[in-house]
Structures are given as C-alpha cells and as structure tokens.
Structure 1
Amino acid sequence: MGHQNISWFTKIPDYINAKEMRTGILTFDDTKCKRCNICTFICPARSIIRDTSDKKSLPSLSFTAPGVADCIACGCCLAACPEGAISISRSFNPGYYFKRLTQTSTLSYPKAYQHPDENAYGKENTPSAMNSSSLGFKEKMRQKMQSLSILKDSLLGLNRFVLNEMAHGRFKELLKWRIKGDANDISWAQLLEEKAKEVPDKTYLLYRDESFTYRDMDNNANKIANYLLKFGGGKGKGLGIFMRNSPRFLDVFFGAQKIGMYLVPINPELKGEGLSYLINHSDIEGIVLDAELVSSIETVRDQLEHVNYFIVDDIEEEAKPFEIPDTMERLSNAYGMSMTNPKVGYNKEDICLIIYTSGTTGRPKGVVYRYKTSSVKLLSLVAQILVKPDDIYYTYLALCHGNALFITTTQSMARNATMALSRKFSASRFWEDIRKYDVTLFNTIGSIIPILMKQPEKPDDRDNKVRVVVSAACPAEMWVPFEKRFSVKLYEGYGAVDGGGKGVMNLGTAPPGSLGRIPPFVTYKLVDENDNEVPPGIPGELIFEDKKNKSRVEYYKNSEASDKKSKDGWIRTGDLIREDSEGYLYFVGRNTESMRKGGENVSAYEVELVIMEHPSVEEVAVYAVPSDMAEDEIMASVTLVDGGKLDPKELVSFLEDKLAKYAIPRYIRIVDDFQKTNTHRVIKRILEKEGVTKDTFDARA
C-alpha cells in the first residue's frame, strides 16, 4: 500500500524539471548521518525516505529512489539535520532555480508521489507500519499532515520570509549556521568576532545618541576582557551583571566570554534578601553594576559569601548624581585597556551563562547554558527566517532576561542587522523611540500590548516603519486592533529559558491569539495533573518528549528541580495550553497559577484578560488567597490608568456578564504600582503574602 498523496501538493508547475531538482540540489554525506530520521519527518514533499533494502546495515536515506516525490527545495531538511549531513550541491544555482520557481504569483509545489512498496524498501516505511500502536506519534503526525498539515503553516511562513531571500541568491545564507561535523556550539563572543571581520563597519548598536559598529563592539569587548583579567577573571570564574540596559552591559557580556568566564545577569529591581540569595547561590566572584544600584549592593554587602570585587558603571548619564565608593572600581578605566584579543578561550564543558527564572511564585532557579550548548547556532539559524540584514531590531526588554539577550541581541547579530536599545520600557515614549531609530522589527510581551493600546490615540500612531512585531501571549481580542491601529503585522512566539529549546510560532498563518501548531517532528502532549492526556478544548500542561535527554534542562545546584523538569523522558513546561480540533495551541496560564473554585479550575491568566477589558484598569494581578472552605478565594489587585477611577462594586458588575460566577474575584484591591520581574511580570508571591489587606474590597461584605 503506497503513501497517499498530500492534498496541498497538487499543483505541478510544468517549468520545473523534477529530475534536475531531485538530483541537482542536495548532497547527502552518509558518513555523517546518525539515522535520527528527522529529515524524513520534516520533509513536506515526502522526497526523502529511509532505504532499508540492505538488511545488514543501518537504514540509509534516498533522494533518488524510483517513485520518490520531487524535492521542492524548501530547505527544511538542511535546517533540521543536527549533523550537517545534508548540504547544497556545488552545481546548484539557487538564483537561477528560484527565479524560475517564483515566476508565478502563487508558490506551487510538485505533487507528492506514492512511496515505494514495502517489499522494496522495508515495511517500516509504509503507512501500515506507521499506524501501529507502537508508533502512535508517527500516526498522529501523518494524520495531521494529511489534513492540511502543520507544515502547511510553516511553508506559508517560509514563503513569506525565506523564499524571498532564496530568490535573491542568498540560499546558502540560510544554512550558514548548521553544525558541520562538530556538535559543540559557539559563544556569543565568537559570533561577535566573526561579524566584526565580516561586516566591521556595519552599525550594530543604537542607544540614545550613541552608535557602535561591529568592530567597535568587538574592540570594546577585548578591552573589558583585559580589564577583568586584572581582578582574577578567567576560565570557570563567575561574574554578575547588575545593570540596566546600556551598551556597557553588552560590552561586559561579550568581554567576559572572551576569557571563559560565566555570566549571571541580575534583575536590577532585586533588593535585600532576594538579591543576596541570587548572588550567593550563583557563586560569582565579581559584580559589574550601575552606579544607581550601589546602594542596593551596600545593604547586603556583608552577606555576600564569594564576591571579592565590584566594578561600577560610571559612564551612564544616570551615574552622575551618585558617589562611587573607594572600595569599588570604575568601569570607565576598562576603556583605556588594550583592544587586543587576550585569546584566553574557554573550556567547552564550562558554564557560559546562568539565567535565573523570574521567581514569581517561589525561589528563582538558575538555568545553565554551557559553552558547548549555548544555543547560539540554533538562534542564528532561526534568525534567517525572521530577520533581514537591513532590519533595525528594537528592544526595551531587560538584557538580563532571555528575550532581549537570546532573541534581539543574538538574532540581529546573526543577520548582520542593527539592534536599537532602550534603557527601560516607557509607554509614553515607546513609539517615539520606534520612529527615532527607524525600527522595522521588535519583540514584546502580552502584558505590554494592553498598556500600549490604552495610551491616548494620536494622529501619528501609524507613522512607523515596523513590518513585524513578535509577541508572547498577546490577548486574542487585541491582536487585530493592535495591527490596525499601529499599521504593523503581529506574530506570536512561545518559548522559555528553561524550555529545553522547544518553542512554537504563529507567523500569521494561524488564528489570532493562537501560538500556532507544533512542527511534526516534535512529540508533545497536553496532560492533566495525573499525566493523562486531555482531549481538545481542555487545558493541560504542555510537555515535550525528550527520551534521549538531549534537551534536558540543567538548573544550577538543583539536581532535584532538573530531574523534575525532565521527568520520565518529557520536558515539563509548567504552562497550561489548550488545543483546538485543528491542532492550534492557545496559552491558558501557568499551572502554578491555576486556582480551584466552585469545583472548577480557574486560570488566573484568563481572569486577568477579562479584567483588563475595563477601561480604567491599566494592569492586574489575579491570585489565590486562603479560604475558610477547602478551595481558594480569588483576589485581584489592579492599577489604574492615569486619571482613572474605579469602584470595586462596579468592576464586579462589569465581570458578571463576562465570567462564570465562580471565576469572579471575591476580593479586589486597588494599588499604586506592582513589584515586577525583569520581564515585566508581577511578583505575585509578594501580593499573596500580603493577603487580604484593610484596603481590600470584599464582594460578600
């Protein structure tokens, strides 16, 4: 029985020579292939099969077997191959091919031919084998691919981004960061060094009135590296960065890696015991800090167990009002050091970076990135899809968090693009910055979009050059209004610093508010508290398969949490996700923020979304407080927009038509401001500890 044709590969452009495509595009190195079979799963045209005709050896791959579907040159297999076993044929002319491929206004794909029969190529390649109970994942994926497949969404996105690049002869650029025989990653400093050679005079960083080329950044990183050596910095030593956004943050970030140190970005909002805990737990020996944060360090200095030197950033405008203690060094002195690369290097097994989780509900955990698993190559590869070399990529998000550091910083560099940096978020100044820097691309988070939407409308709201905004957890009802008001295209991305490299993206091909659909070569489940799979429409924790522990998350000095995160061969995200009947995923909330009321599970996130619809509410935090009954009582704390007024009774009435009765908060508190993490998330454990205060409204009173 042959594999059925996939319905969306039905248009056969007669100007494409299928034989030329199949044999003239790809080169396969059998010596590098580890038989992981990823390429066969990801190939949307089904043009790669496992050749099992030789029963005495491992299955090989075949691109030219009789009846195999035509290669459509989408690049999926090259991007997916972890061993670099698939490469571009030297005889392949991408400009010529894609000129012909894009002669029509609509991208068409060749028909997927039937697969060889099972007698010639082994029963394990046939649908009957794939439908067996032991291969439930394969069966599930094949079914999805045959019903307007997950990969249809991916290819529509690729059509918009990648194929445009390929049509201009830049096909090989897409594949530049594939691992070629070396499974180890590279450091961010190495990426910078390569770019400083490749495009030395291209502007990399814009900050206020400052501008830095790639060469400038590399020279400054060398100066910092040589300066840190004076204080005992070197391989395996830890350095904290306790700074707000600035070019100096990045200089320290790159410079410390040049001498093999590991970096610990510290949330500049931390104070007291929370600050001393993170510093002590991370075992860092030095800290580079902003002058305005010296007082925060001084209050805990006698509690610090390992730190023996402090370097204060005395360069920023914000540093002028502050005195620098004589017991601390000045960062300005570093810029008088030699710009020669110290060439200390690093041990690939050593830690490169520790990113601490937000700690909104408990102690923060340090997510470890080692030099050999830094994710720089993967991030650089993903950048080829979204970022263009002429982009100006903006971020207001804190560099001490993964979004700004991993996405904006890394991906703009990977594409020879320019990064524009703001010291911190300002709703009133946001679009002014966008216009000042001629921004074409930026990332944001779901909690910021409502704040921007609640700013007074202005005639120049649409006056910007932004082509794409990548959001995380954008409220579905604000998706289209945001696009229309600001004349931008909104996409959705999902991932986490402790997500094991797993993620989902909606590149405009899934419904607004959806995360998109997970690629078919990734196994996942949505499960309840007993690890039972939940049906479509029911929220469950999203978990990813990791049988070989390749995506294992490592928490610093916390093996118990590491084991729990990767329990039984599955990476646990801790996020509640709902899947609809077509396989699209929707974020519901954190499972640690789920509450129990009226015999029902209540998502704090979904209640917050409804409360945010009230015109007087700027921000909200919903959480559980103790109840006299066995379940939770729901409490909401809110801040108001400028000039806003709110009667808690009126808010309750507002919610009665929008929420189930059991989900309406019993307690409502109006506060001036929230304490937040560096990712702008409200630290709810502080509110939970405060509980029901004297100024709290009780709807039952």
Structure 2
Amino acid sequence: MTDILKGFVAEFNAKADRQPNKVFARFNSEEITFARLKAQAGTFAANLQLRGLKPGDRVAVMMRNSRFSLPVLFGIARAGAVWVPINAQQKGEGLRYILEHSKPKFVVCDFEYLTTLGECGAGTPTDAFITIGGPHDPGSFEAVLEEDAACVDRPLKADDLFAIMYTSGTTGRPKGVLVTHGMLRLAGEAVRTLTEMQPSDVFFVWEPFFHIGGAQLIVLPVIEDITLAMVDRFSASRFWDQVRSSAATHVHYLGGILQILLKQPENPLDRQHAVRIAWGGGCPKDVWTKFSDRFGVEIRECYGMTEASSITTCNTEGVVGSVGKPMSWYAVEVVDGNGQPCGPGERGEIVVRSSLNGALFKGYLDNPEATSKALVDSALRTGDAGTLDSEGNLWFHGRMTDSVRCKGENVSAWEVEHMAAAHPSVEDCAMIGVEADVGEQDIKLFVKAKNGKTIQPEHLSHWLAKRLASYQNPRYIKVVCEFERTPSQRIMKHLLSRDLHDCWDRLAAAQSGGQARRPDVVAAKQ
C-alpha cells in the first residue's frame, strides 16, 4: 500500500514525456496538453530558481482558476518550493495575517489583486510580486513564459512539503495545514476509489485550486487517463450548460452546492448530460434523492479534512445520508468526552487513525498548541460530531463547536439550519449564538430568500416553532441579501453580525403584540 503515498511530480514528468500530446485539461475549452504544461511549468520553475528561490521557500498564490493555474502550481512544485494558496476573496487583516504568518519569498497574483495585496499591510516587497493578466512587463507571468531557461528538477519525496493550506476560518483565525506531496497523491487515490473513474472520463472543475477540493484534482490526469474540464468559477445558472459542453462524466460538490443547483428553475435539459457521478461532501439526506432523481446522477458522498489527505471515508454502497466507510488506509471511531468508544448510534467526536505513515498531516504551521489538540496519540481529533451505525457506516453531524448552549441545551447549528432551509422561501441560512439577556446564549438565524420570494420573519418563526423544539427555535431572525462565503461556498459565520438590534426579535414581538424591535423583511432580487 505504501506505493500510493509518494510524490506525483516525477510521475507527471514521465507521463508528459511518454504522452506529450495527451490533453491534461481544458480551460474554457482551451486545450492544455501534458507537453505544454510541462514546458510552461519548467520555465516558471527555472525563473524562480534564477531569482534566488531555494528548496523549501514559500510562494503565495492569489488567483482565480485560469489557463495559467496549472503551470503555476506545477512550476512551484518542480522548483521544490512550497505553495501557499490564498483565497481570492481575502483582504485586509485576514490577508495580512496569512502573508505575515507564511512568510512567502514570492507572491503570484492576478493583476486585479495587486492593490488589495499592497493595502493589506503585510509589507511584501514590490519585486516579490509576479502578476498575471496585467501589463506585459518583466514582472508578469506572461513575460516569464517567454524566457528560455532550463529547470533543474529537485528530487521530491512523499514527505516533502507541497503546500501550506489555510483553513477556511468560518469561525476564527485560519490555521496553516502542512500538506505533503504524498498527501496530495493519496487524495487522488481516494478520489479514484470514490468516483470509480475510468480512462477517458472528464472531471468538471469549478472549484478554485486554493481549496483542497480543487487542489486534489490536479493529480488525477497523472494517475489515470482522465481530463479536467476547468472553468473560472462556479455559476449556478451556467453550471449544467458548462457540464454539457465539456462532456463531463463527473461533477464535484461541497457545502451547499447541490442545494443551490436544486433550487434553479427546472429545465427540460436537466437530464441531458453525460454525468454519471456527483461526488463530494455535504449532501443532506433529503437533498440526496431529490438531486439524483431530477438530474439522473449517482450521489457519492464522502467525509474528510485537509489534515487527513482530503478524503477519509466514502459511500460507494448508496446508503442515503451516510458518508460511508473508511478508506483502506484509515480507521475511524467515534468517542465520547472521555475518549471512550461510543456504541452504534451514539453521537461523539470523529477520530481518525491511519496504518499508512504520512497519511495524516504533521501539524499546523508555527502553531504547536493547535497541533497538540488535533493530533493526540497519533490520531486526528477532528472536532466533528458523528455516529457509527451497526454496519460501520459513518454519519456526519457537523462541527462539535458549531452549536449554541441555549436554555441548558446544546443546540446543533446543523439541525436548525437544515430545518430552516426546508422552508419554501429560504434559499440559504446560517445560525450563530449571541448574547442572552438571561442564561447562556440565544439563537440568531440569518436567512436569504429565493429569487422572487419574500421572507416574513414572524411567519418563518411560527413555521419553525411547529418543527423545532422550543429551545431550538431562534429568538432573532435576520434576513440578508447575500452571505460572504469560503471557496467551497460555506458561509463565513465569524463575519455575521451579533448585533441584537438589526433583526426581528421573537420575544420583543410577543411582548408588543406582534411588533419586533425592528421589522425585517427582505425580498430577494429578481
């Protein structure tokens, strides 16, 4: 089994030499062959080396998916450097923190982000920037590709560092996960198992490479004769048209992607595509069958974390709602607060162990405290809640910390959000805990209306009261036009307002005969 935990760069170079004209990927239908990718990556790697980059130096990258994404990533890897992916939506303090914490020697960015990077306060030297899509000058990536320089590939081992991938930071400051070359290669093997990919398959790539869900895809054409069909960003309205035109056989989902697609207007062409499998994480039980029936695809749910080479379990048996069973190199258990194994159906924390040395991450960059909490006795304490059934299937119940202590009860955000999302006018929602007048916390629910719909907080509250326990029913409801999201479309909860006066208040409404502190009704934009 150890042969699946290895570097992928040498594999890529060898395949490019054997099959130079084979298409690695298409970006918006533009072909990128193995030969072209190897040549461009080599030129970029040589340029970095000529600029003084040493093995192990870090290169931060802030760019959207483009025809240059792959040569940038493979160039960094071939130079023996460490990739620091940055969410293209980052700015200000959050961006400054990542740059100062990771200390990159160079920063590759789309030209449009140059001002944002300069204004964040990180103090990155001007000559450290390599821009894409701006003026054609010596500091641009396009100019670099015109150079004639030979790359000296550094021999890479499985445990060499490939990337420092910062967590999304939905609830706090992000942590830099140390991802090795072997971990990314192993993620590709997990995708192979989950998706049952075959030669000539086409994987649709909407997700940014700065997220592990996108990054893990770059090894697939190396380990199997498949092609990536890349687009610049996710678009719900154009998704299936893009899938059809690319002849994709597999689509990936995360977070609320399936729900967003399911809420698009029905179309006679909904089943007119080549997709066999939709795979990923975050498909609620009730969405599973609806999506599969409407679009005619098989759902393959999985569970994992960047810290565990992306994918830990996979559901290939069709148990609706479950995230499946562990990959052959992992063992999963669910433990209680004392670290003792839970019985079937008993909720606890998901803990992951591996028989394969290097499958679990080594730690977080310069954060020994967080590392010691995550890695205990050679096991990964995920911080996720789950249950195991009698057949060994894992069921995921959200983050253990994503809950609110209300009226003496722990209220799962997942449970409240799952119910609120079922309301016919709600497109998406998020729950947080806020300061309570008496007791621990109160619940504040943020909701976004579907196109053409209007949400009346009081009506929504009555609707939820019939479906949730009294302690689960949100006191506060705030209607928003949009949410700020991570690359995988997860809502960034730490940015949600904890103000108690900008929303509808159920208790205040009851005391005033129906009038809340501030009526809050928002219709979605047409």
The change in CA–CA distance for 1:403 and 1:232 in structure 2 (over 3 A counts) is: same
Secondary structure, aligned partner of 1:232: coil
- In the other structure, the counterpart of 2:7 is 186
Alignment match of 1:493 (pick from 277, 295, 302): 302
Q: Work out the CA distance in 2 between the residues paired with 1:347 and 1:514.
A: 35
Q: In the alignment, residue 591 of structure 1 is paired with which amino acid?
A: M
1:369 and 2:179 matched:
yes
Residue 394 of structure 2 is matched in structure 1 by 585
The change in CA–CA distance for 1:552 and 1:397 in structure 2 (over 3 A counts) is: closer
CA shift digits 1:616-674 (9 cap, x unpaired): 21111111112233322111111122222010111112212322221111111011211
* Cα displacement string for residues 113-139 of structure 1 (whole angstroms, at most 9, x for unaligned residues): xxxxxxxxxxxxxxxxxxxxxxxxxxx
| Corresponding residue for residue 541 of structure 1 | 349
The equivalent of 1:358 in structure 2 is: 168
**TM-aligned CA distance change 1:491 to 1:382, over 3 Å:** closer
Aligned to 1:473: 282
The one of 83, 106, 128 aligned to 1:309: 128
Distance 1:615 1:553, change over 3 A: farther
Which residue matches 1:296? Answer: 116
SS at match of 2:221: helix
Match of 1:700 in 2: 507
2:325 matches 1:517: yes
Q: Confirm whether residue 216 of structure 1 aligns to residue 26 of structure 2.
A: no
Unaligned runs of at least 5 residues, structure 2: 509-526
Does residue 626 in structure 1 map to residue 435 in structure 2?
yes
- CA–CA distance in structure 1, aligned partners of residues 309 and 272 of structure 2: 39
| Residue-by-residue CA offset, 1:71-123 (whole Å, 9 max, x unaligned) | xxxxxxxxxx33xxxxxxxxxxxxxxxxxxxxxxxxxxxxxxxxxxxxxxxxx
Quick one: structure 1 residues 538 and 698, their matched pair in 2 at CA, closer, same or farther if it must change by over 3 Å?
Answer: farther
Match of 1:240 in 2: 60
Q: Indicate which of 51, 60, 68 corresponds to 1:231.
A: 51
- The corresponding residue for 1:482 is 291
Q: Is the 8 A contact 2:43 2:75 kept in 1?
A: yes
Q: 1:526 to 1:375 in 2, by over 3 A?
A: same
2: CA distance, partners of 1:254 / 1:673: 35
Stretches of structure 1 lacking an aligned partner (at least 5 in a row): 1-80, 83-177
> Is 1:203 matched up with 2:23?
yes
Structure 1 SS opposite 2:68: helix
The runs of at least 4 consecutive aligned structure 1 residues that moved more than 4 Å come to 305-308, 344-350, 519-522, 546-550
Aligned-residue offset at 1:231:
2.4
Q: Deviations over 1:524-559 (max 9, x none)?
A: 321233324333333211012369975354111112
| Aligned mates of 1:233, 1:347 — CA distance in 2 | 19
* Change over 3 Å in CA distance of 1:398–1:199 after alignment to 2: same
* Structure 1 contact 625–633 (Cα < 8 Å) conserved: yes
TM-score, normalising length: structure 2: 0.90
Does residue 1:613 correspond to 2:422, yes or no?
Answer: yes
Aligned residues: 506
What amino acid is the match of 2:153? K
Q: Offset of 1:521 from its aligned partner?
A: 7.2
Distance across 2 between alignment mates of 1:227 and 1:552: 30
1:383-418 deviation digits (Å, cap 9, x = unpaired)? 266211211101211110111111x22223321210
The change in CA–CA distance for 1:522 and 1:286 in structure 2 (over 3 A counts) is closer
Deviation per residue, 1:209-248 (Å, 9 max, x gap): 4111111111111121122223222312110110011121
2:146 is the alignment partner of 1:336:
yes
Q: How do 1:638-649 residues align onto structure 2 when only pairs under 5 Å count?
A: 638-649=447-458
Determine what percentage of the aligned residue pairs are the same residue: 32
- Aligned-pair distance for 1:680? 1.3
Check if 1:563 corresponds to 2:349: no
Q: Which residue of 2 aligns with 1:144?
A: none
- TM-score normalized with structure 1 length: 0.68
Distance of 2:468 and 2:230 partners within structure 1: 40
**Radius of gyration: which is bigger?**
1
Higher mean C-alpha deviation, range 443-452 or range 226-235: 226-235
Does the 8 Å contact 1:219/1:340 carry over to 2? no
Q: 1:427 to 1:351 in 2, by over 3 A?
A: same
**Given that residues 212 and 310 in structure 2 are in contact (C-alpha distance below 8 angstroms), is that contact kept between their aligned partners in structure 1?**
no
Partner of 2:306, secondary structure, is coil
Q: Which residue is 1:282 aligned to? A: 102
> Is structure 2 residue 398 aligned with structure 1 residue 398?
no
Instruction: Compute the RMSD of aligned alpha carbons.
Output: 2.4
CA distance in 1, matches of 2:386, 2:354: 19
